[in-house]
Amino acid sequence: MSDQFISIYQSGEEQLLEKAVKDGAETMWDRKAAQKTPCGFGEKGVCCRICAMGPCRVSPVAGKGAQKGICGATADVIVARNYARMVAAGTAAHSDHARDIAHILHMASRDGNYKVRDEKKLMSLAKEWGVNTENRDIYEIAHEVAEIALNEFGKPFGTLKFLERAPELRQKVWEDLQIKPRAIDREIATILHSTHVGCTGDAESLVHMSMRTSLADGWGGSMIGTEFSDIIFGTPVPRETEANLGVLDEKQVNIILHGHEPSLSEMIVMASLDPEMQKLAKEVGAEGINLAGMCCTGNEVTMRHGVKIAGNFYQQEMAILTGAVEAIIVDVQCIFPALAKLSDCYHTKFITTSPKAKITGATHIEFHEDNAMESAKNIVKEAIENFKNRKNEKVFIPEIKSNAVVGYSVEAVIKQLDKVVNPHIDPMGTVKPLADVIKAGVLRGAVGIVGCNNPKSKHDYSHIEIMKKLIANDVIVVTTGCAAQAAAKAGLLTKDARKLAGQGLATVCELVDIPPVLHMGSCVDISRILTIVGEVAKHLGIDNSDLPVAGIAPEWMSEKAVAIATYVISSGIDTFLGITPPVTGSDEVVDILTNRVENMTGAKFFIEEDPHALADKVLGRIEEKRQKLGI
């Protein structure tokens, strides 16, 4: 195995943590230690503070200690309510992000900052939604499509439009279960209502409602986020980049883009290329401006521009600890409030930009979409001017980075697949070649590995171990979010990584010229995975739940991940969690999620904290599905 593949475990983190001690900087590890043993009630999900008669905590053990809250809520009800609220919060985060993107399309214009970059995608969506396209200006069409999307959040009647993209058999499952989400905001509000004191008092009903709300994320908010970002900023195509903290450059102004929404980061990318900004950087003695992404906004700009990846969630503090970052610019989600105090130990400017995510101690420069370029330039200028404050004696950049290929949208995957047919014949433009190799057993299956980092697990270890084991067993891996960045750092997103793949997968990778692990984008882009799974199922005339596919969140931590996991099982795809969710205080809820839900949706949760055992379980389940299909 070449060094590249093991570099993940030597990413300079230890040296940076030592540096933190020397610099008197506090990190998540200090705070984790200060937390001591985590609260056992919280960990099991049996703590309720929904009303002021409480807080109540009930015993997770039947027959021992308090069995009910003051209102009479049992452990089952309390656990299920807490779970439902996590799903609602996660759905809200993805969807509120999507709403902003839809608004941007609504304000897009030919001479404005935001334009229509993928007309083909816009036109096909217009057709899908019955928007008249004949003899109309492309921007008029865009605005109408955007308005329809905005109505998906609060429309009074009907169900979400994108549900119709699912295989018919899946739509029938949703219909029968009555979990087709209506308006996105409505599903979130309904959960908040139903989990208010004195409302739903039945665990199964709460899980059922959670499924409906989560589908409003996957087939609503997230899908709108992906599709509209593609229309406005372009649908990603494969491109090369580099990943890990070694992408920071001592000689340049280093700007970290952290958060989720491409509306700001896209503008920063444009602003940093502006000759005026480049000139300013030279004037302060830097060789140029070096952008590097982190978390999902990093994924958005790497997919569309090849912007380098500084790292994933866990590395946000590490980036500042290098002492080489002029500014860390954030929008929303997954941003440690701790960055404010940490950046005070260095010259780094911590710049918040969204009214949705102000942080005490940060420099707040509000980003306004209607004035996007000017806002972005002001922010970049702050970073450039800060270069002169850098203290060279405090700079340490670990010299570790890997090459990666990113940018596998569904469209890009299909284009690659066309390479298996004779290029002189018309390209098929379908997922048929993928379905064929799965059917033939050349690929045993396909797995999505997604989600965060969590200090409960060694950084990236579970992501990488699971990926390596699956590709070695001829399972193709698609990845998004912080998992994708872990893969990038480990060198798994290179064509070279084929040598870690089993013979079948290696042959396919060779033939269609792809890495064995495909970077499909940010977390809202899990909707791309739903789309491709659905297309393969449709092609074979079966349901998602029949396919040898699975979803894994090895190191998840956010409420968004709970929403995702729930819409993935609701979409008929088994989901494996590497971190135990706070539900174990209720045998009933555990039984629903890991067992009974399979009779409803055809998929269920598996919880396994050991990455190797988890990978084995995935492989076992894939073979089970193959057997059932008779392939």
> What are the binding residues?
39, 47-48, 51, 56, 71, 260, 296, 334, 452, 482, 523
Min separation Cβ 49 and ligand SF4, Å: 6
Instruction: List binding-site positions for [4Fe-4S] cluster.
Output: 39, 47-48, 51, 56, 71
Beta carbon nearer to ligand SF4, 51 or 629: 51
Distant-in-sequence, close-in-space partners of 35: CB < 8 Å, separation ≥ 6: none
Pick the stretch among 195-203, 335-343, 385-393, 556-564 that binds ligand XCC (CB under 6 A).
556-564
Q: Which does 55 bind (CB under 5 to 8 A by kind): ligand SF4, ligand XCC, none?
A: ligand SF4
Single-letter residue type at 545: S
Angle of helix 75-107 versus helix 184-194 axis, rounded to 10 = 160
List the single partner that 560 binds among ligand SF4, ligand XCC, none, CB under 5 to 8 Å by kind: ligand XCC
Residues 6 or more apart in contact with residue 208 via CB below 8 angstroms: 177, 179
Shortest distance, position 310 Cβ to ligand XCC, whole Å: 13
253-258 sheet: strands from edge to edge: 363-364, 349-352, 327-330, 253-258, 289-294, 308-311, 239-243, 402-406
User: Residue 443 carries which side chain, given as an amino acid letter?
Assistant: L
Task: Give the helix/strand (H/E) hosting 484.
Answer: helix 481-489
Among ligand SF4, ligand XCC, none, partner that 69 touches (CB below 5 to 8 angstroms by kind): ligand SF4
Q: Does 313 bind ligand XCC (CB under 6 A)?
A: yes
Q: Would you call 314 helix, strand, or coil by DSSP? A: helix
CB-based contact 147:106 (threshold 8 Å): yes
Task: Give the footprint of ligand SF4 on residues 418-437 (CB under 6 A).
Answer: none
Residue 170 · residue 571 · CB < 8 Å: yes
For ligand XCC, what does the binding mask look like between residues 248 and 267, x meaning CB under 6 A? ------------x-------
Q: In the chain, what is the straight-line distance between the N-terminal and C-terminal CA atoms, in Å?
A: 33
DSSP 289: E
Q: Which of 22, 49, 136, 596 binds ligand SF4 (CB under 6 A)?
A: 49
Torsion sign (Cα): 442, 444, 449, 454? negative
48 binds ligand SF4 (CB under 6 A): yes
List, as residue ranges, the binding site for [Ni-4Fe-4S] cluster: 260, 296, 334, 452, 482, 523
Pick the stretch among 43-51, 266-274, 290-298, 368-376 that binds ligand SF4 (CB under 6 A): 43-51
Q: Please identify, using beta-carbon distances, which residue of 258 and 347 lies nearer to ligand XCC.
A: 258
Q: How many CB atoms lie within 10 A of CB 606?
A: 17
Residues 439-498 that bind ligand XCC (CB under 6 A): 451-452, 481-482
- Using rule CB under 6 A, residue 324 touches ligand XCC: no
| Rounded-to-integer distance, Cα 24 and Cα 314, Å | 19
The yes or no reply on residue 560 touching ligand XCC (CB under 6 A) is yes
57 vs 308 by CB, closer to ligand SF4: 57
The stretch near ligand SF4 (CB under 6 A) out of 70-78, 125-133, 222-230, 485-493 is 70-78
Between CA 97 and CA 356 the distance in angstroms is 10
Cα torsion for 141, 168, 444, 412, to the nearest 10°?
-10
Q: Does 51 bind ligand SF4 (CB under 6 A)?
A: yes
Q: With contacts defined by CB under 6 A, how many residues of the chain interact with ligand XCC?
A: 13
CB neighbour list of residue 205: distance below 8 Å, 6 or more residues apart: 194
**From 68-76, 302-310, 554-562, 568-576, span contacting ligand XCC (CB under 6 A):** 554-562
Tell me which residues touch ligand XCC (CB under 6 A): 260, 295-296, 313, 334, 451-452, 481-482, 523, 558, 560-561
Tell me which residues touch ligand SF4 (CB under 6 A): 48-51, 53-56, 69-71, 73, 78, 197
